[in-house]
Structure 1
Amino acid sequence: MIVLTQVTKSYNGSIKAVDNVNLTVERGEIFGFLGPNGAGKTTTIKMITGITKADHGTITINGKDIAKEPLEAKRQFGYVPDSPDLFLRLKGLEYVNFMADMYDVPGNVRKERIQKLAARFDMTDVLADPILSYSHGMRQKIIIMGVLVHQPEVWILDEPLTGLDPKSAFTLKEMMREHADSGRTVFFSTHVLEVAEKLCDRVAIINKGVVLFCGTFAEMQEHFQSTESLERIFLELTNHG
């Protein structure tokens, strides 16, 4: 569960990248965070994960305050950033083991988990290769494997499907659904609306740092008294002003 209360972040003291955002992401749901590029999605995610500090407001993950209890809060989640170009000098397996070390995953448990994840993402044959030699999609997959190896309660994924081949994208979406169905939390940002429409239990739309709507797709249609597609509503919302 993720709770944001009156969260604000400004740059240069004037430009509000995120403006008084209130959000609650429940256990057992896939929550989509939608908005055009530059809307405040990544800034919000960086505050949730503790990379960036909020100017005002509080953020808790499973009841742990990211500002006051950063280590306990960070143990609750796994985070996939929007760029997979990290740790390029390591081999795939070294990177996943490094992540398992960070979260104290026992040796016998991690081996089985790594094998299963590698099989699901078609990465078994390239684990011994350096990440530098991987394609963008393979880098994305190894980052995802590193996040999932400690089986975090909360998944926080920033544009996770970018660069994935169709099979891997399908696998990840399937895993997101399994994770939420087991009573845990998936929070992910995207600007690809079809994905959100098919995958999410609820969505929030952010534009220019302000959350314009939060709820289910059906509630959105009702709220805007529209039989239009999510895409059309989204475009109308984010084009004005």
Structure 2
Amino acid sequence: MSFDGKMALRAINLEVLKGQIIGYIGPNGAGKSTTVKIMLGLVSGYSGKVSIFGNDISDGKVDYKRRIGYVPETAELYDNLTAIEYLSFVGELYGMESELVEAKAKRLMGKFGLEEVFHSRLSSFSKGMRQKVLLISSLLHNPDLLFLDEPLSGLDANSVMVVKEILAQLAAQGKTIFYSSHIMEVVEKISNRIILISEGRIVADGSFEELKEQNTEGTLEEIFNQLTGFHQHREIAEDFVSIVQEV
């Protein structure tokens, strides 16, 4: 895939199985979002073949999207809608009956401690509350494939624990999860397979234990830096702090 003559993805080749939690990571501009948007059918003009649920998505059919949930890194919510209005809108887009959407949404919001703001406008929600609504909207229709881009953004520690457990239980039931984040510690803990891309290419693919065996570094953050060739963090930090301290 290229944009304005610049290659964004170069021969990405991977097969993903049911029940896998994929930690899909890479530096900014590496091609993570482009890969996901291609699979979501939001970007065209790529070369190669993409098959989801056994079907080539270039055939123009959109039925497969009913089985997908998506939480983008930055999402524009309809601030003038209440939480239930927004969730009902999303659920009905997926073909769900309005009564079922409302019942499920109310129960799911209750599990996140949001029952008291069920009928409140989204404009009054904090970042963490909005993120919970986004997560609920991505799961309302019980998707088989879930794309999550920085899904824990703005969540408190207790909510993070809940979401991590939700993902583990969904994967155990055969759901497939693409999880993209810059928080390496979380990716390391929840993923059973980690795919690292750099400059549009896959440079690592395996479990965390396999990546540790193949590289000299210990943590995923250190492996990430080694494989992407970034070693200047201390030097940059020292220069930054020295500038801050100038009088």
2:21 is the alignment partner of 1:53: no
Where do 1:1-241 residues align within 5 Å?
9-13=1-5, 15-224=6-215, 226=216, 228-239=218-229
Q: Counterpart of 1:11 in structure 2: which amino acid?
A: F
Judge which range, 211-220 or 67-76, deviates more: 67-76
Shift of 1:117: 1.2
- Asked if 2 retains the 8 angstrom alpha-carbon contact of 1:40 and 1:206, the reply is yes
Normalised by the length of structure 1, the TM-score is 0.89
Whose helix proportion is higher, 1 or 2? 2
Whose strand proportion is higher, 1 or 2? 1
Mapped to 2, the partners of 1:194 and 1:122 lie a distance apart of 26
Mapped to 2, the partners of 1:91 and 1:84 lie a distance apart of 16
1:58 aligned counterpart, secondary structure: coil
Mapped to 1, the partners of 2:33 and 2:223 lie a distance apart of 22
Identity fraction in percent: 36
Shift of 1:240: 5.3
Counting matched residue pairs gives 231
Deviations 1:169-221 (A, max 9, x none): 22211111111000111111111110011100001001111110111011112
Mapped to 2, the partners of 1:129 and 1:67 lie a distance apart of 40
Mapped to 1, the partners of 2:112 and 2:229 lie a distance apart of 37
Normalised by the length of structure 2, the TM-score is 0.87
- Runs (4 or more) in structure 1 with deviation over 4 Å come to none
- Asked if 1 retains the 8 angstrom alpha-carbon contact of 2:20 and 2:192, the reply is yes
Gaps of 5+ in 2: 232-247
Gaps of 5+ in 1: 1-8
